[in-house]
C-alpha cells in the first residue's frame, strides 16, 4: 500500500477506516515506516525508529478490530514522539550525549494515553538538545532539515516532529513547548501546532527543561486531527502535581461553532517586529475573521515585548536546577575521574553541548547570591506584568491574533554564531508560556521563497475552545499550498547529506 493511499484524509480518516476494518493498522504502519526510511538520510527527523514495536502495536489494534472491540479514537494512526518523552524500554536521549544508552522504565502519561487510544508510535524525533534551541541545530545527532527546503531549518526545538508531519511521514506527532517549541516549528514547516494551557496535559514523563513553562502538545496537518489528539492526551493526572482537575472541553464540537461575534484583538506591537510576509499574513487573517462575523480590532500590549528578556532568565534558572541530576551516576553517560567531583565535571563537560552549557551557566549565575534579586526576581516581576497585561487584553477580547514567527524558515547555519539572533526567533511565542495560556499556530500563507507562514491564535487559560473556533475559520480560507505535506526531493542536490 502506498503512503498516499494509507494516509488519505489524515489521522481521523485513518482511524475511521481502521475501526471499520476497511484498512489494517499494519498496512498503515508499514507505509509510514517505508516513508521514514526513505527520507531519513536527507531530513533526519528521527533519533530512533521503533519498527518492531510499531508493527506489534499495529497488530494489537487489528486484533481488537477483528474481535469486535473498540481500538480507540486514534486506531492505527502512526504517531511520532519527541525524544524528550519517556518511552518504556526505548532510548530517550533528548538529543544529548549525556543520556546515551538510557532507557526509561516507564511511559510518559501522554504516551500511555495515546497507546490506549489506539495510536501507533513509530519512533522518537530529533530536537534541540534538551529542547534548548530554535532550529534543531543543537542536537548531538545533527540537524533536522525542513522538507519545504532541506537547506533550511525546520524550527525548534521540536523540529523533528514538525518536519515529520510536514513531510507526510506521519499524520501526527507530539512536541513540547517551553518558549514556542511547538508553534514556531509548526509555522516554519506549514503544519498545525498547538500548545495547551499549562496543566491541561500531564508533564509526567516529560524530561524537564523549565518546569513552570514546559507543556506537551500535538502537531498535525489539520485542526481536527490536532483537536482529537489533544482530547486524548488532556485531563487530570495525579502523578503530576501541576495537573489541572478542570473538566476537558469537547474540542471537536468547538471547531464547528464558527466565529460569529467572537472578539478578536490583533497584537499591533508584534506586527512591526515581523517580516513583510508574516505581518501581511496576520492582517489577511484578521480580515478573514471579520468577514466570517468576528469583531476584530487592533490592541496594544507593549509589555509582551519584554517577555524575551524575562524568559531567558527564568528558563535557564529552572534548567540549571533540572539538569543538575545528570551527574554521571544515575543516567546515561559516565566519564570516570580521580574522584566524584572530577567524574561529575568530566561527564557534564563531555555530555552537554555548548548551548546547554551556556544556559546552565546563565541560570546558575542569576540564582547566585548577590544576583538573585537583580536578575531572577526581577524577571519574575516582569512575568507578573505580562500576566496582568494579558488579563486586561482578555477583558475586551476572546482571542488574540499575532504572527507566530518573525520570518519564514532561515538557512541552516545562519544564526548559530549569534545566540541572541537565534533567541529572537521566539519573540512572539514566549509570552504565552510565561502566562501559562494556550496558543495555536495555523498554516495560513506562503511567504518569501514560497515558504510557509503561520498565524498564531492566543487565548486565556482554558480558552482552547474559542482558540480552536478562530483557528478553524482561518484554516478554511488559508492560501492553497500553505500547508503540508510536501515531498522533499530525495534525489536532488541534498541527497546523501550526512546527518
Beta strands, E only, 33-171: 46-49, 78-82, 120-125
Question: Is residue 361 one of the residues assigned to a domain?
Answer: no
The predicted structure's pLDDT at residue 487 = 83
Question: Is residue 18 one of the residues assigned to a domain?
Answer: yes
> Active site residue: 96, 181, 243, 389, which one?
181
> Active site residue: 82, 124, 195, 415, which one?
82
Question: Is residue 128 one of the residues assigned to a domain?
Answer: yes
pTM for this predicted structure: 0.96
Q: Which residue ranges in the chain fall short of pLDDT 70?
A: 1-8, 489-499
C-alpha cell of residue 107: 511511559
Residue 132, domain extent: 3-302+389-477
The predicted structure's pLDDT at residue 495 = 38
Structural domains of the chain, count: 1
SS3 content of the chain, % helix, strand, coil (to 5): 45, 15, 40
Residue 80: count other Cβ atoms within 10 Å of its Cβ: 31
The predicted structure's pLDDT at residue 354 = 96
Say how far apart CA 213 and CA 195 lie, in whole Å.
11
CATH code for position 449? 3.90.1300.10
Asked if 296 and 286 count as a contact pair (C-beta separation under 8 A), the reply is yes
181 is catalytic: yes
Say how far apart CA 77 and CA 177 lie, in whole Å.
23
Question: Is residue 326 one of the residues assigned to a domain?
Answer: no
Q: Residue 404 has what DSSP assignment?
A: S
Question: Is residue 342 one of the residues assigned to a domain?
Answer: no
Question: Is residue 353 one of the residues assigned to a domain?
Answer: no
Question: Is residue 248 one of the residues assigned to a domain?
Answer: yes
The predicted structure's pLDDT at residue 2 = 56
The tens digit of pLDDT for each residue in 351-369 reads 999 999 999 999 999 999 9
Question: Is residue 334 one of the residues assigned to a domain?
Answer: no
Pairing relationship of beta strands 172-176 and 263-267 according to DSSP bridges: unpaired
> Active site residue: 157, 389, 407, 425, which one?
157
The tens digit of pLDDT for each residue in 282-300 reads 999 999 999 999 999 999 9
Q: Residue 184 has what DSSP assignment?
A: H
The predicted structure's pLDDT at residue 9 = 73
157 is catalytic: yes
Amino acid at each position: 500500500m502506498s503512503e498516499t493511499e494509507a494516509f488519505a484524509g489524515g489521522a481521523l480518516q485513518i482511524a475511521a477506516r481502521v475501526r471499520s476494518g476497511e484498512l489494517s493498522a499494519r498496512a498503515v504502519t508499514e507505509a509510514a515506516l517505508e516513508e521514514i526510511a526513505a527520507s531519513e538520510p536527507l531530513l533526519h527527523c528521527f533519533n530512533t525508529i521503533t519498527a518492531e514495536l510499531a508493527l506489534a502495536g499495529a497488530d494489537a489494534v487489528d486484533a481488537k478490530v477483528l474481535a469486535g472491540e473498540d481500538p480507540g479514537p486514534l486506531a492505527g494512526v502512526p504517531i511520532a514522539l519527541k525524544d524528550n518523552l519517556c518511552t518504556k524500554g526505548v532510548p530517550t536521549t533528548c538529543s544529548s550525549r549525556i543520556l546515551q544508552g538510557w532507557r526509561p522504565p516507564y511511559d510518559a502519561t501522554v504516551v500511555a494515553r495515546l497507546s490506549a487510544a489506539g495510536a501507533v508510535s513509530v519512533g522518537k524525533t530529533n530536537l534541540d538538545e534538551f529542547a534548548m534551541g530554535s532550529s534543531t541545530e543543537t542536537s548531538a545527532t545533527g540537524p533536522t532539515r525542513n522538507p519545504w527546503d532541506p537547506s533550511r531549518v525546520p524550527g525548534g526545538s521540536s523540529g523533528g516532529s514538525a518536519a515529520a508531519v510536514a513531510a507526510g511521514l506521519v499524520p501526527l506527532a507530539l512536541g513540547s513547548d517551553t518558549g514556542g517549541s511547538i508553534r514556531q516549528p509548526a509555522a516554519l514547516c506549514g503544519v498545525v501546532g498547538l500548545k495547551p494551557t499549562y496543566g491541561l496535559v500531564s508533564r509526567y514523563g516529560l524530561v524537564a527543561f523549565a518546569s513552570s513553562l514546559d507543556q506537551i502538545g500535538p502537531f498535525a496537518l489539520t485542526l481536527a486531527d490536532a483537536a482529537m489528539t489533544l482530547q486524548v492526551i488532556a485531563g487530570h493526572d495525579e502523578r503530576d502535581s501541576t495537573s489541572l482537575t478542570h473538566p476537558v472541553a469537547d474540542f471537536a464540537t468547538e471547531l464547528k461553532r464558527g466565529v460569529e461575534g467572537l472578539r478578536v484583538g490583533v497584537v499591533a506591537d508584534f506586527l512591526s517586529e515581523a517580516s513583510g510576509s508574516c505581518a501581511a499574513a496576520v492582517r489577511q487573517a484578521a480580515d478573514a475573521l471579520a468577514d466570517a462575523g468576528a469583531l476584530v480590532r487592533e490592541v496594544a500590549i507593549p509589555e509582551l515585548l519584554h517577555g524575551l528578556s524575562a524568559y531567558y532568565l527564568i528558563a535557564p534558572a529552572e534548567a540549571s536546577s533540572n539538569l543538575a541530576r545528570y551527574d554521571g551516576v544515575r543516567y546515561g553517560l559516565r566519564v570516570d575521574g580521580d574522584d566524584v567531583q572530577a567524574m561529575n565535571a568530566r561527564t557534564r563537560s563531555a555530555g552537554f553541548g555548548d548551548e546547554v552549557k551556556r544556559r546552565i551557566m546563565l541560570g546558575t549565575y542569576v540564582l547566585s547570591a548577590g544576583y538573585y534579586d537583580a536578575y531572577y526576581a526581577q524577571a519574575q516581576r516582569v512575568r507578573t506584568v505580562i500576566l496582568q497585561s494579558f488579563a486586561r487584553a482578555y477583558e475586551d477580547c476572546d482571542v488574540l491574533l499575532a504572527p507566530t514567527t518573525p520570518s519564514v524558515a532561515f538557512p541552516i547555519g545562519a544564526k548559530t554564531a549569534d545566540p541572541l539572533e537565534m533567541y529572537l526567533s521566539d519573540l512572539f511565542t514566549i509570552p504565552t508560556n510565561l502566562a501559562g495560556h494556550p496558543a495555536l499556530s495555523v498554516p495560513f500563507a506562503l511567504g518569501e521563497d514560497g515558504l510557509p507562514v503561520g498565524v498564531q491564535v492566543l487565548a486565556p487559560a482554558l480558552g482552547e475552545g474559542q482558540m480552536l473556533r478562530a483557528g478553524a475559520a482561518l484554516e478554511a480560507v488559508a492560501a492553497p499550498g500553505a500547508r503540508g505535506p510536501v515531498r522533499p526531493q530525495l534525489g536532488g542536490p541534498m541527497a546523501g547529506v550526512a546527518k
